[in-house]
Amino acid sequence: MEKQKVLFRDLGQMDYKAAWEYQERLLQENVRLKSVESGVVQEDFSKTTNYLLFVEHPPVYTLGKSGKMENVLINDSEREQRGIQFFHTNRGGDITFHGKGQIVGYPIFDLEKFYTDIGRYLRELEEVIILTLAEYGIVGGRSAGETGVWIDALEKGKERKICAMGVRCSRWVTMHGFALNVNTDLSYFNHIIPCGIQNKKVASIQEELGRGVDMEDVKDRLKRNFEKVFNVEILGN
């Protein structure tokens, strides 16, 4: 089977709202290409383009469409004093944090070019992260009923989440994605109940290894593992 092509774009450091709007434009263009001008649905998705975006955001809390405000433990004035933005987004999941030292990945994939199964898509996103962590000697895994990648998920009291995930899908075109804590300042998570999950900690590659790691190296490994797991060819750098 011929590999799907994926255009990679590293957005560098970008405001959350700007990146969100950019994703929306890419998604809507793909949705438009899947429909004829008359508005009749056309099952031709050959013209759509798959993208993989990497970005770092300034400090921001984002709340998913089904998230609960009570999982935000900081009031607006305190948050503003700390220079942390807040957005109620249209992705799945609850509250999470994005900031410096974290790689946020936004795949804009037309799943009809792969499979029409959101559950499988999320598991494969998790697999990309698990394989990448393994290259640093970190054993990542899954926690039953809790999307994302965890460390020591089965050891009560030791569970810690290293990668949060939340996606949106329209006409089988995805947006939003994952947030992998690399050299992230984890103290920002003290002001929320991450992903709405009580009594579980967060982790970063830096914290697990006891040293910082090169962000570009992590990005390269993530891209290679995307190619492996999704059987795609990533173009661009």
Q: Known binder of ligand: residue 96?
A: yes
Q: Known binder of ligand: residue 98?
A: yes
Catalytic hit among 6, 195, 203, 205: 195
As a whole number of angstroms, the distance between CA 149 and CA 129 comes to 7
Residues 6+ apart with CB under 8 A from 14: 22, 55, 56, 57
User: How is residue 7 written in tokens?
Assistant: 């255009």
Classify the phi-psi angles of 109: left when phi > 0, otherwise alpha if psi is within -120 to 50, otherwise beta: beta
- Residue 231 burial (CB count, 10 A): 13
Q: Known binder of ligand: residue 18?
A: no
Q: Known binder of ligand: residue 94?
A: yes
Give 72's strand partners. Answer: 192
Q: Known binder of ligand: residue 164?
A: yes
Q: Are strands 102-108 and 141-143 parallel, antiparallel or unpaired?
A: unpaired
Q: Known binder of ligand: residue 184?
A: no
169 an active-site residue? no
Q: Known binder of ligand: residue 120?
A: no
Give 35's strand partners. Answer: 41
Q: Known binder of ligand: residue 105?
A: no
Q: Known binder of ligand: residue 87?
A: no
Residue ranges for the known binding site for substrate are 91-98, 164-166, 177-179
Catalytic residue ranges = 195
Residue ranges for the known binding site are 91-98, 164-166, 177-179
